[in-house]
Amino acid sequence: MTTTIVRPAPTVAHTKRALLARHQIVAPSLKVADGAAASVFGAARLRGPIARDVIAQVTGLSIATVNRQVTALLEAGVLRERADLAVSGAIGRPRVPVEVNHEPYLTLGIHIGARAVSIVATDLFGRTLDVVETPTPRGPQGVALAALAESARRYLSRWHRRRPLWVGVAAGGVVDSTAGSLDHPRLGWSNAPVGPVLAETLGLPVSLASHVDAMAGAELLLGVRRPPSHASTSLYVYARETVGYALSIGGRVHSPASGPGTIAALPAHSELLGGTGQLESTVSDEAVLTAARKARIIPAEGPASTMQALLRAARQPHSQAQGLLAERARVLGEAVALLRDMLNPDDLVVGGQAFTEYPEGMSLVEAAYAQRSVMPPRQIRLTAFGNRVQEAGAGVVSLGGLYAEPIGAMRRASRKDATA
């Protein structure tokens, strides 16, 4: 007689644990790392080619520690020696400069927007090698995720001479970085397993971050700035189709476990722009376009009914188009002032196409900000990445693990289908 063993159906929790065990889902590292290997790699990235004794000077590490870390980083493949640049007459390897070995590698960044997805190839310096933009996949969640992963796979297949190391995803909505899942109401996604699907398709570690946190991380790690002090704070305010903010404290983007806060419902009033009395519904691209269509500045529909068409009209110049964009700048400036007065950061950065696509409006943003703020004057700094801020954010999510733990990250990247 044959005995049949009936196994219980897997629970949701069991299935989730199995997914995490099979795939390399890694929480993003949006911080200035201070480990020995990270410090040495950072010195080479920012100052290379650089000699070991100079690395010791700029990092404060002992020369023995620097030598050990350089040897390990050379073995991992992320640094290379430049014997051709050695000081003439110098004796011994410590005087042979090292630099980042960037040419064999790339990382893949993916920015998931409400309307478009940007897929970005980035080198180890954080420089964009290439970017493509496609419409955000629609339809059932599973179908959309499969289409996204397939687009990324086809894109990577084009890179024959560079080895991909990591995938970084930046997206709106509510992100669970530990599980690699995403709730995105505008796309109809709920607990979408973005990380596991990409990891299974691409066979690479995947990190997932809120897109505004990612953009703040790009300013922190890739922006041309002095390293922040352990006590400094920076406020990043974003506006385009959505609005958001992120706060960096002591060289680390503050990412609450429950997800980022929202400024979409901050009070904002504009008779010209309309809206519901809340910030996002007043200053978003769609709100501005709706007002422009209502005023017949641009057609109600068709290829000429876009933000680019409105911007062209403002530069003709078209007084009504300029008036709408000036009003948006005013509302944004007052919102930035409100946030600055609440949080009083040491550094204040704004980014997103609501600021960068119409630089003529920045003086109006600054004027409204100065008039509304009750705190002592503090300068607004425009993002270092201009209209490329979304791709920079996705890129830094793909690089954060390498910058924080370069040796461990290279080991993880070498394990196909390894346990996270």
How open is the CA angle 382-260-276, to the nearest 5 degrees?
75
Task: Domain 227-384: give its CATH superfamily.
Answer: ATPase, nucleotide binding domain (3.30.420.40)
- What percent of the chain clears pLDDT 90, i.e. is strictly above it? 80
SS3 211: helix
Determine contact, residues 133/410, Cβ cutoff 8 Å.
no
Q: Which CATH class is domain 36-100?
A: mainly alpha
Which amino acid appears at position 300 of this protein? A
Query: Looking at residue 414, what is its pLDDT?
Result: 84
Mean pLDDT of 191-216: 95
pLDDT tier, 219 (very low <50, low <70, confident <90, very high otherwise) = very high
Query: Looking at residue 147, what is its pLDDT?
Result: 96
Strands 116-122 and 206-210: unpaired
* Phi, psi of 217, rounded to the nearest 5 degrees: -65, -35
Mean pLDDT of 40-60: 94
Judged against a pLDDT cut of 50, whether residue 157 lies above it is answered with yes
Cβ neighbours for 8, distance < 8 A, ≥ 6 positions apart? none
Task: Name the residue with tokens 């607990």.
Answer: 191
Q: Which CATH class is domain 104-217+389-414?
A: alpha beta
Query: Looking at residue 255, what is its pLDDT?
Result: 84
Mean pLDDT of 19-36: 81
- Helical ranges in 51-193 per DSSP H: 52-59, 63-76, 141-156
Which amino acid appears at position 343 of this protein? L
Mean pLDDT of 290-296: 95
Helix (H) or strand (E) holding 80: strand 79-81
Would you say how long the chain is, in residues?
Answer: 420
pLDDT tier, 17 (very low <50, low <70, confident <90, very high otherwise) = very low
3-state helix, strand, coil in the chain (%, to 5): 45, 20, 40
Query: Looking at residue 9, what is its pLDDT?
Result: 53
Judged against a pLDDT cut of 70, whether residue 267 lies above it is answered with yes
Mean pLDDT of 26-54: 93
Range list for CATH 3.30.420.40 in the chain: 104-217+389-414, 227-384
Cβ neighbours, 10 Å, residue 66: 24
Query: Looking at residue 134, what is its pLDDT?
Result: 93
Whole-number Å distance between alpha carbons of 93 and 71: 11
Structure tokens at 132: 């493509």
Query: Looking at residue 23, what is its pLDDT?
Result: 60
Range list for CATH 1.10.10.10 in the chain: 36-100
